[in-house]
Structure 1
Amino acid sequence: MIITTQTNTAFKEPKITLVGAGPGDAELITIKGMKALQTADVVLYDALVNEDLLSFAPAHAHKVYVGKRSGEHSYSQEAVNKLMIDYAINYGHVVRLKGGDPFVFGRGYEELDFAASYSIPAQVIPGISSSIGVPGLQQIPVTHRGLSESFWVVTGTTADGNISRDLHQAAKTKATVVVLMGLHKLAEIAAVFKAEGKHRLPVALIQSGTTANEKVVIGIVDTIVELAEENKIQAPAMMVFGDVVSLHPKFQPIREFYDILAQE
């Protein structure tokens, strides 16, 4: 049940804008997303949102953290949905600021649908998805002529804690496979590719892409778990499996090493 307590002398029509904040660097938000923030009465923002973006919101706007991180208090999706509606009814324009793009593992449609159930106008402003933007900034294209004709974006862990069945299917293809939110399952995910005989498939691990804490590790399926441990890679981190990773400058020494082994 939503309880309204609006006491503003000037009533503001409730509305909601889902804004994609991009992969981390504050400058990667779209101009349209920035303009939405400038008209916000309330900003509900997630854990992966760069807090520098909050400076675009008016001084009077309420900034409310509703993030979800492992090991700390987090809001359920149901609680976020209710907060979003309550703030819209009581204050006016709610900007729901979400990392990456709202519709790429962002549960954006659930929030859009919930707003519609209360007949509150809502719109979506897309953001740069980390699944494409982060590898791209590392000179890793998700598609490239002769190497990859398509790409998969897969969650590392499903709601029941298991590896997605889609990952098993993706590993059978020649497509680039981008895995989000699965660092703690890295060994199991690597084993999926090994089962398909892809022991030397190039892999990139990118921690906190586009931010000051960014860290990049390049290897192959056989070595990526050990490299992750050696380099102390931490969440949030994404994985990129595919021949396109061989285009990264750090992969050249790996290629040369295996070329030498092949000649012996």
Structure 2
Amino acid sequence: MAAVSQLEGQVRGFLSDFGFEVYPFKVAWYNAVLEPSFHLPYPEETLAFVVLSIPSMFEKAFKPFLSQQRLQRIRDPIDECISYYLTLLKENLPNKRLEIIYDYELQPNKKPKFLAQTAAHVAGAAYYYQRKDVKNDRWGAEKIFGVCIHPQYGGWFAIRAALIFPDVQVPFLQQRPPTDCVQAEERRIQLLESFTFHWQDWTYRDIVEVKERYSEEQKSYFATPPAERLRLLGLQGELRESSHY
């Protein structure tokens, strides 16, 4: 128990300095709520963490990363940034076998390697609101997407990765439910409709009172089409130069 608490402290202590939050979970909790095709292929008592980026990540991790990496070819700046810091974490835990699954990774059958919102929910990080959480379903055949809401940051965060420690078994780990911060039926309907039909206007993110939001610079970055983000950051010319090296 003490060794696991120490490991959790190391992971959280390292990543929190860069604007990340981590929450532990057992593989069993995740697999229990999903069909077998989405199961994580580890023993049920295996320790895992879900990694979230909070608003401060942009200033604490992303911008410093860009300033350090300017002469390298960056495929997707945010993805590369997350990979950079999680790889640093791995290097800081040389005696622990750590496997990292990123939110964008796919299985050979094109299904996600892990369902990020489900992981956040079972780890107690953020409540995953879905259609089934509304009693008076009025949408008929309409496709309604679920969304996680954080008790402090609302929708102003992102789920980035799962950290798996295959050699660490935690049969004693107690599950903590996520905070249900959108309890009223009409608010849940508002949230799901706002996320499904109007996600680009940011309003679903403020369904609860929040501690911190994305800065205007950060909002501008994420609102810009991916193909134009490098130009927004002033990196387009430098990346063309770097292709010669």
TM-score by length of 2: 0.27
Structure with the largest fraction of strand: 1
Larger Rg: 1
Structure with the largest fraction of helix: 2
Q: Which has the higher contact order (CA 8 A, sep 6+)?
A: 2
